[in-house]
Structure 1
Amino acid sequence: MSTYIVMAPPEYENLAGDPRQSDRLAFVPDGFSFLAFLFPPVWLLVHRMWLILLGYLAVTLLIEVLAQTVGAAAMGLAALIVSILFALEAQALRRWSLERKGWRVVGLVEGDGKAEAELRFLHKAGAAVTVPEQGQERERGRPAPMPIVPRVGSEQVVGLTLGPETRQ
């Protein structure tokens, strides 16, 4: 099972009001990205992450310059390590890039694939669309309350507790 973070664009409204808005949601998987490992610049271009692409190109250029002085074997290993680290953090960088554009996190869902994760999220949000019989009006479900995923650094953690400890 994979975990997906569901992100909505800035002009996104409640899904129960209009289920057709579900096409605009972004389901960002959490974990290693093989395509980002194999083809980092192409992956960045496809996801329109221009600023991160410039940073990646600067790092690879630095590795090439250092390869001229240190040696190709050591820098080849360094390039491999950079590619692995980039693939591990690629989806987190994608979420960061979307947040910079004004997108916000609207949920967290698990599924065996993206399609199952979408179905689970839409079912939980109460956006199941059914075709009404002739002469019947379509009922709209009440949306389920969506848990909000806390942002990194927003919680004050003291020791192993999530808040100030009360002593008795």
Structure 2
Amino acid sequence: MASYVFLTPPGRAPGDEKTVVLRDGFSFLAYLFPPVWFLLHRLWFEALLSVLLLVLAGLVAETGHLGLAGPFPGIALCLFCGLESGNLRLRHLERKGFRLEAALEARNLAEAEEIFFSKTPLATRTPVNSGANPAPAAFRPVGDHRPVLGLFDLHGGR
């Protein structure tokens, strides 16, 4: 099951049509092309920083001082961007005034949206796909604890 976070724009009611849904998970585009991914999501500072760090990692690899470990700083930077891209985008939207409405787990985006936008209590809801293994989605309203996107699971909080 994947983790999803729902953010409402400033001045909008919870459950508005402009609600932003972020999926927690590895981003291959952010791993392969970090500056491009940051620019697509309007993370200007992060895009500039990733370009500078990738150029620096390339220069370090080019000097040959690290030997066979020369490419590893660049690979580590790209891996970090791929793993933490959702968290960086979440923090950016929160700085812009978006309110964190809910963090939940679901099998796919359609199920996550159905859970978030439905008005029925979770206990009375039937699973969307009642197949061989109908594991219901876990819903955790956001209170004092902020969800962690990236390397940590949403169940335990921080």
- The normalised TM-score by structure 1 is 0.67
Counterpart check, 1:104 vs 2:105:
no
In structure 1, the residue matched to 2:132 is none
After TM superposition, what 4+ stretches of structure 1 lie above 4 angstroms from structure 2?
none
Structure 1 residues 118, 67: closer, same or farther in 2, change over 3 A? same
Q: CA deviation at 1:97?
A: 0.7
Is this contact kept in 1: 2:29–2:37, CA < 8 A?
yes
Structure 1 residues 30, 10: closer, same or farther in 2, change over 3 A? same
Q: CA deviation at 1:147?
A: 2.1
Is this contact kept in 1: 2:22–2:90, CA < 8 A?
yes
Structure 1 residues 119, 60: closer, same or farther in 2, change over 3 A? same
Structure number, greater radius of gyration: 1
Pairs aligned (count): 127
Gaps of 5+ in 2: 122-139, 148-158
Counterpart check, 1:151 vs 2:146:
yes
Is this contact kept in 1: 2:35–2:48, CA < 8 A?
no
Aligned to 2:73, what secondary structure does the other structure show?
helix
Moved more, 52-61 or 108-117: 108-117
Over aligned residues, Cα RMSD in angstroms? 2.2
- The normalised TM-score by structure 2 is 0.70
Structure 1 residues 7, 72: closer, same or farther in 2, change over 3 A? farther
Identity of aligned residues (%): 35
Structure 1 residues 108, 64: closer, same or farther in 2, change over 3 A? same
Q: Matches of residues 85-100 of structure 1 in structure 2 within 5 Å?
A: 85-100=80-95
Gaps of 5+ in 1: 16-20, 127-145, 153-168
Aligned to 1:151, what secondary structure does the other structure show?
coil
TM-superposition CA deviations, 1:70-93 (whole Å, max 9, x none): 257423222112111111111000
